[in-house]
Amino acid sequence: MRFGILTSGGDCPGLNAAIRAFVRRALIDGNEVYGFKDGWLGVVNNDYIRMTRESVSGIIFQGGTVLGTSRFNPVFDEGLTERCLENLDQLDGLVVIGGNGSLHIAYHFHRLWGKIVFIPKTIDNDIWGTESIGFDTAVNVASQLIDRLHSTAESHKRVFVVQVMGRHTGWIALYSGISSGADVIVIPEYPITVEEIAEIVERRKKMGRSFSIVVVAEGVRYSDQRVQNVGIHIQRRLARILSVETRFVEIGYVLRGGSPTAYDRLMAHVMGNFAYELVVNGKFGYITAYNGYDVFSTKMDAIVGRLKTVSVEDYLSAKYFFG
Ligand code: F6P
């Protein structure tokens, strides 16, 4: 049989481990695998790499994606959609590795063509009903970097506002904030006010802790925010309210780079292997969902259009430890 595979949307650590697992399983059984370059752009242009055992050798620990990726979306152009369908018709199935945006595209083509399986990846961890490749690595990197800010914040008695990625949800901020002992965590789902943040910082000061670490997700928005960057907004406002020395640090694309953690590699490996089992058995229209070392299939139509957000209970249980 002939299968295609592509990575689409923002990259993250662990993509290569998933590609490797799928390709190796498929080749062992005597199938052909076509790796489309740069996401859906590769499908439009029929631009692919014929995958071999060598093309996936030594990549399980590498960040990025050997296939390349892009945010290119052919859905709204009839001509491009037709070209995709013509090229897909040469295949017996396609595996798409992507985030929420890519899931929309994959679902669209699944409804037209019927032979797609989806592997979830995003450092933002916001795909409904599953864990996603890349999140664990992002949380680990963010935690380690925030750890490093503690000593300099304490030495200078400063307040550090640390902005991490998370366009719509606060998963990275919450998990890295908890694990690095941040004093305040601000997320888009429940954005506490700058006045509340200032109160917590003040309370700490009265207890003799003259420094604070405030972790904020990039997706938080305030009505009086004039600057694009919410972290800068909070930092400036805190400086005014508290007259303390403040600093802003952005932990952005570095979260998407470098080597994946063992957890992400394992998840990606298991999902790649499982995706092969789904396509070879003609079980299309599913995503490879993952929950704590357990893999299972969930229908794409139950996931598409939904966002996995932080629950109020989870946020409140983190809030007990603020200050
Ligand atoms: O991968 C998700 C994400 O990292 C978001 O948190 C961020 O806003 C976005 O991607 C930025 O990605 P790009 O600049 O590649 O579009």
Q: What is the pLDDT of residue 81?
A: 98
CA 242 – ligand 1 centroid, Å? 32
Give me the residue label for tokens 């063992």: 262
Q: How far apart are CA 30 and CA 14, in angstroms?
A: 25
**Best probe residue, ligand 1, of 167, 168, 228, 251 (max atoms within 8 Å of C-beta):** 167
Give me the residue label for tokens 């983190």: 318
CA 166 – ligand 1 centroid, Å? 8
- Encode pLDDT of 244-298 as tens digits: 999 999 999 999 999 999 999 999 999 999 999 999 999 999 999 999 999 999 9
Ligand 1 pocket residues where CB is under 6 Å: 10, 71, 122-124, 165-167, 218, 256
Q: How far apart are CA 273 and CA 18, in angstroms?
A: 8
**Best probe residue, ligand 1, of 73, 124, 175, 264 (max atoms within 8 Å of C-beta):** 124
CA 256 to chain centre: 8
Contacts 24+ apart (CB under 8 A), 49-57: 51/5, 51/23, 51/27, 52/27, 53/24, 53/27, 55/23, 56/16, 56/19, 56/20, 56/23, 56/24
Active site residue 136: no
Q: What is the pLDDT of residue 315?
A: 98
Topology annotation, domain 137-256: Rossmann fold (3.40.50)
Q: What is the pLDDT of residue 187?
A: 98
Among candidate residues 38, 124, 183, 314, the one labeled active-site is 124
Q: What is the pLDDT of residue 44?
A: 98
Residue 237 parent element (H or E):
helix 230-242
Atom of ligand 1 minimally distant from the CA of 255: 4
Q: What is the pLDDT of residue 69?
A: 98
Atom of ligand 1 minimally distant from the CA of 122: 1
CA 323 – ligand 1 centroid, Å? 30
Domain ranges for the chain: 2-134+260-302, 137-256
Pick the residue whose CA is nearest to atom 8 on ligand 1.
167
Pick the residue whose CA is nearest to atom 4 on ligand 1.
165
Q: Do domains 2-134+260-302 and 137-256 have the same CATH topology?
A: yes
CA 194 – ligand 1 centroid, Å? 25
Atom of ligand 1 minimally distant from the CA of 134: 1
Q: What is the pLDDT of residue 243?
A: 84
Residue spans of the chain under pLDDT 50: none
CATH 3.40.50.450 applies to domain 2-134+260-302 = yes
